[in-house]
Amino acid sequence: MFFITFEGIDQSGKSTQLELLAESCAAADIDALTVREPGGTPLGEGIRKMLLGPEHEGMDPWAEALLYAAARAQLVRDVIRPALGSGRIVLSDRYIDSSLVYQGIARGLGVERILDLNLGATGGLMPDLTLILHLDVTGSRERLAARGEGGDRIEGEPLEFHQQVEAGYRQLEEMYPARLVGIDAGVTVEEVHAAVVAACRERLGLEIEPAPVST
């Protein structure tokens, strides 16, 4: 069935929105599987630890890009394709566009080269719809500080890196307008969810209603 991905800078609320969309689908009797990247398979979770642990500070950008692609290859083959094949919707917290933006743009490896790498790794599986949650970087830093945690290796990158990521998402949106929908994430959870549901209805014809948001 449909493959829907959520993208955005850290703290943009992707996980919350993904769970709410899964609830909307469940209420409409639509079977949806949720996954997150990097991870979702034993190999992928191992790679996740390598990628996000602070001990690998200074990791080579190509090593980083290849590790994300490796985790993705396993997730697509073992989890995403079987689920789509059995008629389920798959909702993923990040996918190829994260690599295009973080590795291709912010790390400077090039969007085309990272796209090629990932098309190879996934057998060309692209999402039917990608929802980009836009949040300005200051907002993201504030949410991170409010959480009171130090953040992982990527979250610990300097402000400019995150600004490049946010600008990169806007650039991608212009490159792929048919697949990507940008949503302002600087408003309430309920408002963002309503925009997500509207995009799924309009772009994919999904007959879903917004799920109640508990406050």
Q: Which residues of the shown chain bind ligand TYD in the complex (CB under 6 A)?
A: 10, 14, 36-38, 52, 68, 93-94, 98-99, 102-103, 152, 154-155
Distance CA 95, CA 69 (A): 10
Q: How far is the CB of 153 from ligand TYD (least distance, A)?
A: 8
Return the number of the residue (36 or 193) whose C-beta is nearest ligand TYD. 36
Q: How far is the CB of 29 from ligand TYD (least distance, A)?
A: 29
Return the number of the residue (71 or 208) whose C-beta is nearest ligand TYD. 71
Return the number of the residue (102 or 169) whose C-beta is nearest ligand TYD. 102
Alpha carbons within 13 A on the beta-carbon side of 15:
4
Task: Find out whether 53 and 44 touch, Cβ atoms under 8 Å.
Answer: no
DSSP string across 8-72: ESTTS-HHHHHHHHHHHHHHTT--EEEEESS-SSHHHHHHHHHHHSGGGTT--HHHHHHHHHHHH
Return the number of the residue (155 or 166) whose C-beta is nearest ligand TYD. 155
Q: How far is the CB of 87 from ligand TYD (least distance, A)?
A: 26
Distance CA 158, CA 106 (A): 11
Q: How far is the CB of 78 from ligand TYD (least distance, A)?
A: 16
Q: Which residue is nearest to ligand TYD (CB)?
A: 102
- Token representation of residue 140: 């993201």
